Structure 1
Amino acid sequence: MRLYLTALNPTDAVLHGFLPAASSLALPVTVLTDQPERWPSDVSVQGCVVREPAAVLTAVAGGEPPAALLSNSDHLQAATALAARRLGLPGKDPEVARRCKDKAAARRAVAEAGLDPVRIVVVEPGAVPVVAADIFPAVVKPREGVASEDAYLVADHRELAARVAEIRTRRPEVALLVEEYLAGEVRTHETLGDDADLVVLGGWRTGLGPPPTFTEESLDWAPPAVSETAQLRKQLDALGVRFGACHTEYVVQDGRVRLIEVNYRLIGDRMDLILAELLGVPLFEYVIRLHLGEPLAAFDLPTPNTVERHARVEYVCADRSGRLVTAPGQLDADVDGVRLGCRPLRTVGHTAEVTGTNRDYLAVLHAIGPADGTVRRTLTDFRAGLRWEIAG
């Protein structure tokens, strides 16, 4: 029996999370990908048009019998879920995965449940945006986008038209969504579920860079309050979210939880690995075991508010376009009981334009320790001793 993972480009979640987890479970893995040439030579990969369920089915049928089939990619959840269902394997509901990916459909599902209506306008490819003046300030973003890519805050019709034109120079085929701006501190809600239950793993408070983009620059461990969890559960129920891992972003306005988006997979940008370390659990193994058919009750998961540690994560972002000429390598340290880490996300010699998204990340730094203040001070001192230099 074999685990099949669908993926696009190599990610830390797969290379440092799922593959080691599968090895610890003595489960051989094949990565199905449409970019096999980009993967390390020591990873078993098979070329496949992974956005097409039929192609995934054909690839799996041609190999060892599948023990499980899963994906951690935003782009592949629906196709992978449909293929898993046709194979009779445990997995996500394909329609729920599709609904979460389509931000307009997700907004409609929550509004129809009478929970949190958010004003939206879909702008089809080539169409002129037609929105009411009182929707501003607003956010324009791809209807099926990921993270903060091509997401912009706009103040009026002029800014909206300019941003739509800019996005279309890169992605003319993409439908866009214009929605009212939800002001407030961005928070996250991390869950794990099986067909019968859903548990909260924890959450983070997110520090964003300056508008008009929405680049995440830092995250601090902050499990949701009970009142927030109850509201979030109702909204996730409206979407049908239950099985597997899910990462939800939201703000709180006057005590009311308002969803930003729901990503039906683990939190990304190495936060999944840091979350596993903070909780002290084999998180990636648990995700695989759910897809093997094990119940959530079999896992030893701590109650988030009882975790007697704090964690902070900071992303080092490129401040200009150019070539990275100086950067530290991978580092680990332990200072006064605080575990510190630096993980490069770009190698020396890498050249790129600044985008205002997580594509600008040069490295991720993290600290895990006994208290918020100690963690922050120690991470600040750690970062002060590191240097990144970009040649324009």
Structure 2
Amino acid sequence: MLYLTALNPTDAVLDGLLPAAGSLGVPVTVLTDRPDDWPAAVPTRHCPVRQPDAVTEAVRAGPTAAGLLSNSDHLQAATAQAARRLGLPGKDPESARRCKDKAATRRAIAAAGLDHVRAHLLEPGAPATFDAFPAVVKPRDGVASEDAYLVTDAGDLARRVTEIRRRRPDEPLVVEEYLPGDVQTHDTLGDAHTRRVLGGWRTTLGAPPTFTEQCLEWAPATPAVTAALHAQLDALGVRFGACHTEFVVQDGRPRLIEVNDRLIGDRMDLVLAELLGVPLFEYVIRLHLGESVADLGLPEPATVGRAARVEYVCAEHGGTLVAAPGPVDALRDGVRLGCRPLRAVGSTAEWTGTNRDYLAVLHGIGPDPTGVRRALAGFRADLDWVITT
């Protein structure tokens, strides 16, 4: 039995990991604290999945475990601790905790002498102070750019901290120096001994003060940048399983924004699998079943020989989505195109300035970047989304 810890249903699980387990002939049980949110066809068991003891006992109480994994930012450390107690392959628990805690990430990189980003931890109720602007304030353990803001001075910081604390009164915040530059990603897959590069993307963000990803283009890092990135990942202890790292390059060296100890999200993992032409989700499962990354046959990113571009359609205001295209696939001028909904018609949501505003994700994969951009622009022009307030 493969046990998978999760909170709410995600595309990575429903469209990625569960079908992959089926292809491998491995039965799955999803451990979740929200079983009623999951489709009836998914085998679930209620479990307080943020608690390592509870996860450990839930696995011991079920059929014999062949593996235990999670693709949730929130559950990596707890799942890693449970896997270690059960003697199953998994991430290093301390590394998983260090990646989730953005203040701990900064301390580890600085202690290794690899980079120093000025940062200050704001415990709940502590004064909103910092000495270097512009800066970024965000939850210490946050995800998805939620409540992450660019602030320009002390007054702006105080206002944002007050605003965030209305929603998150008990959560520590981090204030750190703003790292200007083009945001890039670096995605890896590894076993206990070896880490391999899946590839990387150049990211276009929306207008500040928020950091919503609007577009990503395939752009693996150079060998020099990759080597420097891996030195920082080594300092964090990152190796096993999937990892998604965001960074900027300044003066030829990468500076980490954050490290997410799971696959790249928002359907980018599914696009990456298509681009690479590999069963990526099967590979993740096979690592957690004890196989070596060397056995997976991963291609070198520089030899893929294809271009790819992903664009997110974002809501511009809150309201109810009353009309939207369903899943669409097309072929235009040799470019494979796709549109996948990220919000259901009839659903109502507030505007957040984060990737929670995504309505759909569009992607194109083809032989060259210019042709992909042109085909994707034409594809997008034929699609409409309507939100009423």
Please tell me the TM-score bracket, short chain as reference: over 0.9
Match of 1:29 in 2: 28
Q: Does 1:5 align with 2:8?
A: no
173-182 or 321-330, which deviates more = 321-330
Unaligned runs of 5+ in 2: none
Residue 123 of structure 2 aligns with an amino acid whose one-letter code is E
Q: CA deviation at 1:367?
A: 0.5
Deviations 1:210-238 (A, max 9, x none): 00000000100000011110100100000
Partner of 1:160: helix, strand, or coil?
A: helix
Partner of 1:66: helix, strand, or coil?
A: coil
TM-score, normalised relative to structure 1: 0.99
Residue 138 of structure 1 aligns with an amino acid whose one-letter code is A
CA distance in structure 2 between the aligned counterparts of 1:225 and 1:25, rounded to whole angstroms: 34
Match of 2:366 in 1: 369
Match of 2:205 in 1: 208
Q: CA deviation at 1:18?
A: 0.3
Count of matched residue pairs = 389
Deviations 1:123-144 (A, max 9, x none): 0001112222xx1000000001
Unaligned runs of 5+ in 1: none
Match of 1:236 in 2: 233
Match of 1:137 in 2: 134
CA distance in structure 2 between the aligned counterparts of 1:130 and 1:334, rounded to whole angstroms: 53
349-358 or 205-214, which deviates more = 349-358
Q: CA deviation at 1:248?
A: 0.1
CA distance in structure 1 between the aligned counterparts of 2:129 and 2:265, rounded to whole angstroms: 34
Given candidates 259, 264, 273, the residue that maps to 2:270 is: 273
Residue 88 of structure 2 aligns with an amino acid whose one-letter code is L
Alignment of 1:141-220 (within 5 A): 141-220=138-217
Where do 4+ consecutive residues of structure 1 move more than 6 Å? Answer: none
Q: CA deviation at 1:58?
A: 1.4
Q: CA deviation at 1:147?
A: 2.1
Q: CA deviation at 1:336?
A: 2.0
Match of 2:95 in 1: 96
Deviations 1:274-306 (A, max 9, x none): 000000001111111101110111011111011
Deviations 1:237-275 (A, max 9, x none): 000100000000000011121000000000000000000
Q: CA deviation at 1:326?
A: 1.3
Identity %: 71
CA distance in structure 2 between the aligned counterparts of 1:148 and 1:70, rounded to whole angstroms: 24
Partner of 2:239: helix, strand, or coil?
A: coil
CA distance in structure 1 between the aligned counterparts of 2:143 and 2:86, rounded to whole angstroms: 28
Given candidates 327, 331, 342, the residue that maps to 2:328 is: 331
Q: CA deviation at 1:347?
A: 1.3
Q: CA deviation at 1:4?
A: 0.2
CA distance in structure 1 between the aligned counterparts of 2:176 and 2:229, rounded to whole angstroms: 20
TM-score, normalised relative to structure 2: 0.99
CA distance in structure 1 between the aligned counterparts of 2:343 and 2:288, rounded to whole angstroms: 32
Residue 133 of structure 2 aligns with an amino acid whose one-letter code is F
Partner of 1:355: helix, strand, or coil?
A: coil
Q: Does 1:312 align with 2:312?
A: no
CA RMSD of aligned residues (A): 0.6
Partner of 1:165: helix, strand, or coil?
A: helix
Partner of 2:141: helix, strand, or coil?
A: coil
Match of 2:64 in 1: 65
Residue 4 of structure 1 aligns with an amino acid whose one-letter code is Y
Partner of 2:121: helix, strand, or coil?
A: strand
